[in-house]
Structure 1
Amino acid sequence: MAGGNIVAICQYGGEFVSNSDGSMSYTGGEAHAMEIGQGTLFDEFKSELTSMFNIDISGMSIKYFLPNNKRILITVSSDKDLQRMVDFSADASTAEVYILNKVDNSFCRSRSNVADSGTSIVATATAVRGGRRKRLTSGARATRARMRAADSGNPNAATNAAADNANNVRQKRPNVAEDADNCASRTIAANLGMPVVAIAAAPDNIGQQGTTTVDEVDERATRSVLVEPSNLLIPSVATPEDVRPLNLNSLWDNVITGVGQEFDNVKDFRAQLCKYAISKGFVYKFIKNESTRVTVKCNEQNCAWRLHASESSYKQKFVIKKMNNVHTCGGGNGKDGQRRATRQWLTSILKEKLQETPQCKPKELVRELYEDYGVTLTYSQVWRGREVAQKELYDTLKETYSQLPWFCERILETNPGSVAILSTSLDSKFRRFFVSFHASLHGFEHGCRPLLFLDRIPLKANNQFKLLAAASVDGDDAIFPVAFAVVEDENYDSWIWFLGQLKYAVTTSRTITFVSNRQKGLDEAVPQVFEDSHHSYCLHHLVEDFKGELRKGLWPQQVKDAMVEDFTRAAQACTIEDFNASIESIRNVSSQAADWVIASKPENWSDAIFSGSRYDHFSSNIVDSFNNWIPAKKESSVVQMVDAIQGKLMELVEARRESSNAWESTLTPSMEQKLQKEVSKARKLNVLCSSDTVFEVRGNTIYVVNIGSWECTCRRWQNSGLPCMHAIAVFDRVGRSVYDYCSRYFRTECYHLTYSASIHPIPDVGGIDFNSGANSYPPATRRPPGRPKRKRFNPDKTNTVLRHCSRCKVAGHNKATCEAVL
């Protein structure tokens, strides 16, 4: 055999069998052997297989096992995949190759989800047990969403109109609050024979979709507005014969993604886990179920699926630490299997349905839960869940109706120049609330760098609302809150709305640099609202994504850690040369990992390419300092949450203003410390004068410093705002003060401007009348037709029920009054 070649044992016509340890073995069929090497092309390989087995390979897929791994099948679909197979199997000298039908990836004795060419690895699943409920065929029944599209008379109308609307809403720029909320309403439309897809409704076509949008923004002096964006579509009624279960829960397939995923709290994790299990069609049980750690496993005996999550040690978030996504019981495929709902899940789903149809009866809800999610519940279970959902809805509605408008007015009265915007639906249901105090806006405009961090603040006990925040950093590199928003959910629409209000509130002419985790629609929302801004991706989340990509490989942990360090150096590199060196270091280990890094848009996270100014801030986790601002007992009320934030802001502004009065240095303490480190490095450098403003600085390498344009070829001066050691060496040579070349944002007088305005308390928050407007709750119900039925007591009616004593067995009395002697 030629050097570098391997023997491929090609098999076709057999079946896979799952072993007790989760591995798979192939039995039956016929097998042939052929020699392949690095120079073998994929088309030649397919041609050889066609002649070997006398089959049409175009309808087949080619897969193989990695050495010492009989659990995961890897797909071969290109020349590069074939070369990887030869490389991976070089030590073993042989590779077992299987030819499978593409139309039937379920095997006779086991069904397996296979990985595609090393990019994603999905666990195997065994055959479904015969005693489980089978899902109806896709062609037998139509979903309610499909019926909506069919009612229009044109089966393609819903899909085509929705696609046009999606294009329109992406092209329209949400300039102020009036435009920002138009993108918020979402509807579901489907074409007959096509999957259900969520699409954004265009503002111009909202009337055709059955929704209404009314946004009014007052002048800056008023700053308070009641926005009534949209009503949801009322679902059409379908008979049991026209429904197919399990049609909408596919949207939950990715709510659990794997190790490293973060959740606000343990309640949020449990809620998402329930959605994931319902979507995948399996039942789990808790091994540990505590406030700081949760361990669950599949309820089927001997199934390998298992997940462990616990509270993060460095952040107040709940993180998945371990996850085995292998279902050896046949579950987890989303097609078959039982589904078990929790009371929290049922309440959240019923609240959504009651917002659409408040008068929906429990019997209808039982049917819709089975139609939409495949969950079978009793009438009494749904009735009790409906009562809890109605109470939570009415409590929120009462607060929105009576407290929040009053609270907006009081914010503007006590803190003139602030922004407080309330967004509700047409029937006064709460949707969103935005607040930015005048002191925060003034401090950001006059003392902070044009740098904003966007993130969601995790709440400890409340999953009903999401708290969004925008924060900057002051001259001492401390967090400076700018704006907050309480929204119903974190998604593209809520971020578009929040950024629209932020643009209205922050009236600055500076070009702002945003730092975010780019998730939940932020990647698209930021450039759409702030067109001329710069958007940087959070390095922490990028590193976690890169680690997840490296888990798919078979490298030792030390090699993975070295590639992560190279990735971090690439993000912090100031020059193209340093960036390319880090990428090449990764490529020497894995070209696929290097390609992933290049495909992750380094122009948005590497200092060598990024066009904005981050001032050495690479992560958006700076807003994690807000985690303890809101007590858990105040999270149930929007007013109490905002009031708690206002109290913390007031204390923060006063404390920092008080401490800065004692500063005597030109720069803030943290910046002075950074500058002195650079000064100590500059003493070993040699300076050559080229002109009055251009100098050559020599150390280990040669750099050119231009003090006229505040630039150095090392790019540290431009990126950080503080002179680098090369520039400091030039200042020492020409006798100039280094402080004259520091960014003004780092000066003590600029820090004083940041905290020059005060946040005033709202003294009468505790005196809010919780009962005002309460006569509107619950909403009036429509009287049924006909005369009301009455239950009348008939004294002449004979009692047909005979009660017998359980002691003496005589009729007419019970055991408590029995006087018989036995």
Structure 2
Amino acid sequence: MMLDALMVEDLYAAAHAPKLEAFEKCTEDIKSISPEAYNWVIRSETGHWANTFFGGLRPQKTPQKAAETAVVVQPASLPSLAPTLNNALALNEPTDVEMGNEITPVPISSNPFPMAVIDNDQRIAARQWENLITGVGQRFHSLAEFREALRKYSIAHAFNFVYKKNENQRVTVKCKAEGCPWRIHASKLSTTQLVCIKTMRPTHNCQGVTSKAPFRAKRSWVGNLIKEKVKESPKIKPKDIATELKRDYGIDLNYSQARRAKEYAREQLLGSYKDAYTDGDDGAFPVAFAVVDEENADNWHWFLTELKEIFGGQCYHAYCLGYLAEKLNKDLKGHFSHDARRLMVEDFYAAALSPKLEAFEKGTEDIKSISPEAYNLVIRSEPEHWANTFFGGLRYNHMTSNFGHLFYSWVSEANELPITQMIDELRGKMMQLIYQRRVESSQWITRLTPSMEDKLKNEVIKARSVQVLRSHGSKFEVRYGETVDVVDIENWDCSCKGWLLTGLPCCHAIAVLESYGRSPYDHCSRYFHVETYQLTYADSIHPIPNVERLMDSEAEDGTVLVTPPPTMRTPGRTKIRKVAPGGRIGPSDFLKRQLQCGKCKGLGHNKRSCK
């Protein structure tokens, strides 16, 4: 019954949508619940009932104003909906209370705390979350998305909650205050991955959060919350983070919690060497590898030259920000204190990440105020290869070359093998990786890859607080908090440069697109779409015969392939040769020191055995 009601609502929304994008969104919502229902709707002569396709004029009949208490509608079966389309009811957003097996509607209150007095000067930033939970019938793509919305909703309305049920199919939550009736229940819709709010008691009889109980939040959650703040002010102190979170969101954090959250935010902004990148889901995609005698500049130049010959076209060479920062720190070591070096490295990161010239110049000027020599070193290090302000290509927010971590872990397991077996071992691992990702992506039901879907949803949530002011042509002025930016939707550009740097529309662009009835998904980089990801892994690396049998065969010219002789492990403990720093082996590494007698000064014996 709940699924029927949701599809009826989607059908009404599709019928009233004046634009094709909105019509397609509603019908896709139906399809996510039932492909059969979607096919029925598409075949039901949309030109006669959908505003998007109707060719004539049909005056809008003003529906009867809904009562303060919503009416529970028993939807008819899907094939009987078309004859009743013109009698569509005015739907509001009711919030119901669970009474046994029935749903009893209750009036919606604009103030969930009728007894409490909320300080308007507090939790200013949290106001954008006040309407993340709207009531019964609201849908989410997953239980994780529902829990995230619930957490932010509780912060905005200043109350704590506890889970009565927290399972993989359903979630039931109540207000933590003793005796407070506030309660909400959501569960997955059968045969789908969608989650729907089934019941909700919307009103509290408590005073909200009146005590200073610590807010329990994961390091990753708070880190994502402060990520933009850390990006703008890399040198912000943990105590300042805690103060601002308390002021803007009412969240209490101690110093260590704020410090760990800042570390997580920096890791997300600058990249972690534990992660691998490059495909549409932030995963490493194997392109090419080579086996060389030594890792040096000449071999790297040869490898990259060969790679460029394969791909051709114009290529932009981006420097690894992590390597540059490590080198800068090494060059400054011995000349400056630890704190001074830390500040200059942070300023260097801020300059590299800044999308605008003013922010880049501020970061470098901060370095100059500590050391003019370090400033000159940074300026001479070719910023067009590592600074977002000057880089000519697209980096999709990948600032470090840590994509090799996965491959290095493979090599470490195979580096003791003969070269042919080593290559075959790496080939097998890449073959398995491509197969696994092809199978996993076939189960995805979203339009974007999972990691990009999450990033876009975060921007969509922020877009709800963006004010759009129409300007001229395709350009718009947008205001988000105290910042003002300009969006050009036709050229896929925003003055914040977030759209260009990440390949995903920023919150400013999303607000403009939605005001026009356009879908943000249609303005994401094609590399992030599931279809492109699946094409990336559509081809396989095929199995080959056993490598050892190939080694015993003859070449075309009749010569026999020579393989390394088999080695036998000698009994006893293996002796490990110590190698000098830099990898150079000198006489002192393998010559043993001879005994010298302290009595006769002879060699080969000591004074105790001297005769």
* TM exceeding 0.5: no
Q: TM-score, normalised by structure 1?
A: 0.33
Q: Identify, as 1 or 2, the structure richer in strand.
A: 1
